[in-house]
Amino acid sequence: MAAIEQQGAASGRPGSGGGLSMRTKRLLWVWSFLAVPILFYTIIRFYPTFQAFYLSLTSWDLVRPPKLVWFANYIKLFKDPQFWKVFKNTFTYLIIGTPISLVLAFTIAFFLDRVRFMHNLIRALYFLPFLTTAAAMAWVWRWFYQPPPIGVINDVFGMLGIPQQPFIRSTDQALFSIMVTAIWAGLGFQIIIFMAGLRAIPGTFYEAARIDGLGEWAILRKITLPLLKPTTVFLVVFSSIGFLRIFDQVYNMTTNDPGGPLGSTKPLVLMIYQTAFNSYAMGYAAAQTVVLFTILLIVSLLQLWILREKK
């Protein structure tokens, strides 16, 4: 009520509101509206983020007040063999998962784009896993991967005469078994984005290229891929962040031994979760989140720089 009256007054008698100019008033208005989301964002986003930086320098265990220990958490972290294992796992997910998923998604999108027969149905089928809850999907895959009496994949192997594989019960195969499900789950989204990118390339370019006698391979290399660059950049960054933050699949596929046998599938996020909510070492967990934050920042900036538009 008060706001409306004030607004009416302001527009009714311009220039008389305490000597403020029209421009200042408008600015004040704009900022008073913007202040709400900014304040909200600051309180729920930035404040906890800075708080985490502070906590990472303390030995907070949730029950006693935080005690400043400076860099002790970081020193402990860098000396912890478990951390380096988890670090390696996280980067394996990233370095192997991202390229495979992008190449797969592009190949499927490229050919799906030309398929007219049941195009929508096929596209929907590829997109379906992306809509499914990660936890439900992870449990289904967990059962797929089981040893003989219940595991579908091993049953098929048995029929084909291929030796049984331990999959998520093995220290060598577990990480890749989980990576496959993660790639499969994200594929639908990437295909849709790639297809949108492909559709956005003007058909005239292709016509001109064909008139000039360019082969399919040359068209792909000289026209399609360069023009798809903005899409690719987006997907590389998006998918990398996804792999760096992988958690749902790993957690659900190995709940009884979280992080796989001997931590072979454990990503950084799961380690943070366990440190914080199983061991209640909040300070140590905060130090791990700061490290994850730094990694995410560096990787994202690096990718944007590498894939930047060359002018």
Provide the binding-site residues for other proteins, judged by CB under 8 A: 61-64, 142-143, 146-150, 158, 163-164, 166, 169-171, 256-258, 261-263, 274, 277-281
Which tokens sit at 88? 């390696």
Least CB distance from residue 247 to other proteins, whole Å? 15
Least CB distance from residue 256 to other proteins, whole Å? 4
59-68 long-range contacts, CB within 8 A, separation 24+: 59/283, 59/284, 60/282, 60/283, 60/286, 61/280, 61/281, 61/282, 61/283, 62/280, 62/282, 63/280, 66/282, 66/283
Least CB distance from residue 171 to other proteins, whole Å? 5
Which tokens sit at 81? 């063999």
The residues, any chain, with a CB within 8 Å of residue 163's CB and separated by 6 or more, are 157
d(CA 310, CA 229): 11
Residue closer to other proteins, measured from CB, 113 or 257: 257
Least CB distance from residue 13 to other proteins, whole Å? 33
Residue closer to other proteins, measured from CB, 185 or 270: 270
The residue type found at 97 is G
Which candidate, 262, 220, 298, 283, places its Cα nearest to that of 63? Answer: 283
Which tokens sit at 261? 């046998």
Residue closer to other proteins, measured from CB, 41 or 280: 280
Least CB distance from residue 164 to other proteins, whole Å? 6
Residue closer to other proteins, measured from CB, 11 or 51: 51
d(CA 70, CA 68): 6
Residue closer to other proteins, measured from CB, 235 or 276: 276
